[in-house]
Structure 1
Amino acid sequence: MSFNTITKITPFAEKIKQPLLKDKITVLQINLGKKCNLACSHCHVEASPKRTEELTPEICEQLQQLISKFPQIKTIDLTGGAPELNYGFKPLVETARKYNKEIIVRSNLTIYFEQGFEDIPQCCADNKVRIVASLPCYLEDNVDKVRGKGVYDQSIRAIGWLNDLGYGTDEDLILDLVYNPPLPTTKNFSLTAEQSKLETAYKMFLQEHFEIKFNSLLTITNLPIGRTKFFLKKQGLIDDYLYFLESNFNPITVNSLMCRNELSIDYLGNVYDCDFNQMENLPAKIPNGDNLTVTKLLAMDSLDVIEKVQTASYCYGCTAGSGSSCGGALS
């Protein structure tokens, strides 16, 4: 779809005609830091090998308290940067496993080949970690353009390594891959491909060429945040892209938005409604208007202290077409 004029974006809260209310919290998504061995062109976190920000021992201990204190938490979702590269990764995995939580690690796969991190695949298998790994295309050239030369080859080798440990075949060892569409360079925008059809294409290609397996493919829309936002601004496309997302708003997706039942926590212990709000520095608010932190959650002895989700224009990225979340399509 192409746009010749820029139309004012409708505020998201106005579009849904009511506040976006928080549900009972069942997911903690924790960003362990911005350190990463890659610097992907679409990264909304703006992570790279040059970044040094990471979790502190104090915040790590508070997060372990949260995990142990609240049985309502079903899932601990670890992200970064490369989460495995940042402080607190193993302690949080071990604590989550001790309290029988689902553990998700959002991995770039290439971290397994960095010196000192060769034990990560076995650590994940031992703790029944669900690995959600970025592979923005099943073709080598497209992946390396986005993530760096040689990343595709290492990713394929890493998936084979995980398969050898039982990932993709053992029901307790789940390996999901993540697809991000290419960043647009013209106004001929398009929605993310249908998740189920793209998953079939991925599985056929990877099985035929490499004899490797995975469980599910998750399709995620590029939100205009971080490096994606900078790229769109440089191309003069950001307003048109936002309008495209709004014009494809799907109200069916709203009830399933990930921000409704999760807390996103940064390496400093600040709390947000979602990972995207975290990167845009839009903190979660408690009813008195104060910003929420892990320290306050522990003091208040409750996870359910937020009434309304903080929204912004990029929320249309999660509600366009079939919807988009850290768990893939919503409808």
Structure 2
Amino acid sequence: MSFSDSIMSFSERVKHNLPKEKIDILQINLGRKCNISCTHCHVEASPKRTEELSEIACQKILKIIELFPQIKTVDLTGGAPEMNYGFAEIVRVARKFNKEVIVRTNLTIFFENNYEYLPEYFADNQLRVVASLPCYLEGNVDKQRGNGVYNKSVLALQKLNQLGYGYDPNLILDLVYNPVLPQEKKFNLTPRQDNLEENYKKYLKDNFQIKFNNLFTITNLPIGRTKFYLDKFNLTQDYLRFLEANFNSATLPFLMCRNQLSIDYLGNIYDCDFNQMSGLNAVNHQGKKLTLDDILDSNSLDLISQIRTEDYCYGCTAGSGSSCGGALL
């Protein structure tokens, strides 16, 4: 069901034609356990959540990573992925089979008991670190993510730099920008990624001697806590209209859902993490909801012909586009 009846549904906009391409990325949401609780989190993760990857699902994921050479990247997210079951074992197997492994970290996890080892572990395994830092200014970060998060993030980034991240070509450190959520009907697209990256790099270098590789700008989609927030200020429909008004068809070939499978902690499959959080399962050509068992039984990753969409997909296709890897254009 669409959030708003006053806009053209996304499926109509793309003429019900958004075909899946050959899968080369597995994005695995290991669970909703997290050490912090961010206002924009579409996963609704927090220290109170207990959902995490099941042992059965973990074993199936390991088998799939081993069986399919076409998988180039294993992308680990959460929650705080490091806190959830299966993290270390998936890293071990993925690296054994020469997959790029991305860990989407909130940085503050480095300062929690029993997780102080993570920076060295990341470096030892040459994990690509994609770290949330929704602004380079302290006030905006702490507003979204909690008091003290900015200072901890700075210390974490400095530690990663000391280990070679941002300098060694095998130790990639990327940052993620999310816009501040509005409280009135005044919406803006995410700034140009290249310009904002320059600002981030200058500010963090000048003030903290921090170096990183890339900045990813990600649009807030009206899902999870972002939707709760927009609903609170009666802005959800207006925000969707804004995104629709800025729809850019040139982004469609580059959408992350085209060549990615998103897997939840129970082993269900989705086209993307946003669909996962909305409960919009991926289906095969017969309309059957797909799971890890279907991949193993058919010995194929490429079971999806048509991507399922919702009106929040306008968020990924507005302006320069948005994905887990930042702007699309």
Pick from 270, 273, 292: which aligns with 2:271? 273
Which residue is 2:281 aligned to?
Answer: 283
1:242-268 deviations in whole A, cap 9, x for unaligned? 010000000000000000100000000
Measure, in 1, the Cα distance between the counterparts of 2:5 and 2:189.
19
Which residue is 1:203 aligned to?
Answer: 201
Return the offset for 1:19: 1.5
TM-score by length of 1: 0.97
Contact 1:7 1:243 in 2 (8 A): no
What amino acid is the match of 2:131? A
What amino acid is the match of 2:164? G
Report the secondary structure of 2:48's partner residue: coil
Task: Trace 1:249-268 onto structure 2 (pairs within 5 A).
Answer: 249-268=247-266
1:241 equivalent to 2:239? Answer: yes
Measure, in 1, the Cα distance between the counterparts of 2:36 and 2:104.
14
Return the offset for 1:282: 0.2
Report the secondary structure of 1:37's partner residue: coil
Measure, in 2, the Cα distance between the counterparts of 1:151 and 1:112.
12
Return the offset for 1:17: 2.2
Report the secondary structure of 1:221's partner residue: coil
Pick from 310, 324, 328: which aligns with 2:326? 328
Measure, in 2, the Cα distance between the counterparts of 1:144 and 1:324.
23
1:43-88 deviations in whole A, cap 9, x for unaligned? 0000000000001111111100000000000000000000001011
Which residue is 1:168 aligned to?
Answer: 166
Measure, in 1, the Cα distance between the counterparts of 2:25 and 2:130.
15
Pick from 183, 187, 190: which aligns with 1:189? 187
Which residue is 1:134 aligned to?
Answer: 132
Which residue is 1:3 aligned to?
Answer: none
Task: Trace 1:288-303 onto structure 2 (pairs within 5 A).
Answer: 288-303=286-301
Report the secondary structure of 1:77's partner residue: strand
Which residue is 2:92 aligned to?
Answer: 94
Cα RMSD, aligned residues only: 0.8
Return the offset for 1:7: 7.1
What amino acid is the match of 1:275? D
Pick from 199, 222, 225: which aligns with 1:224? 222
Which residue is 1:177 aligned to?
Answer: 175
Return the offset for 1:18: 4.0
Find runs of 4+ consecutive structure 1 residues off by over 4 angstroms: none
Return the offset for 1:135: 0.3
Contact 1:317 1:324 in 2 (8 A): yes
Measure, in 2, the Cα distance between the counterparts of 1:39 and 1:191.
24
Measure, in 2, the Cα distance between the counterparts of 1:288 and 1:253.
28
Which residue is 1:121 aligned to?
Answer: 119
TM-score by length of 2: 0.98
Return the offset for 1:140: 0.7
Which residue is 2:154 aligned to?
Answer: 156
Task: Could you tell me which runs of 5 or more consecutive residues in structure 1 were left unpaired when the two chains were aligned.
Answer: 1-5
Report the secondary structure of 1:104's partner residue: strand
Pick from 74, 77, 81: which aligns with 2:75? 77
Measure, in 1, the Cα distance between the counterparts of 2:285 and 2:315.
27
Contact 1:112 1:120 in 2 (8 A): yes
Contact 1:206 1:213 in 2 (8 A): yes
Measure, in 2, the Cα distance between the counterparts of 1:56 and 1:113.
26
Measure, in 2, the Cα distance between the counterparts of 1:297 and 1:134.
31
Report the secondary structure of 1:131's partner residue: strand
Pick from 53, 65, 68: which aligns with 1:67? 65
How much identity, in percent, do the aligned residues show? 62
Measure, in 2, the Cα distance between the counterparts of 1:246 and 1:39.
29
Measure, in 2, the Cα distance between the counterparts of 1:87 and 1:115.
17
Pick from 281, 288, 307: which aligns with 1:309? 307
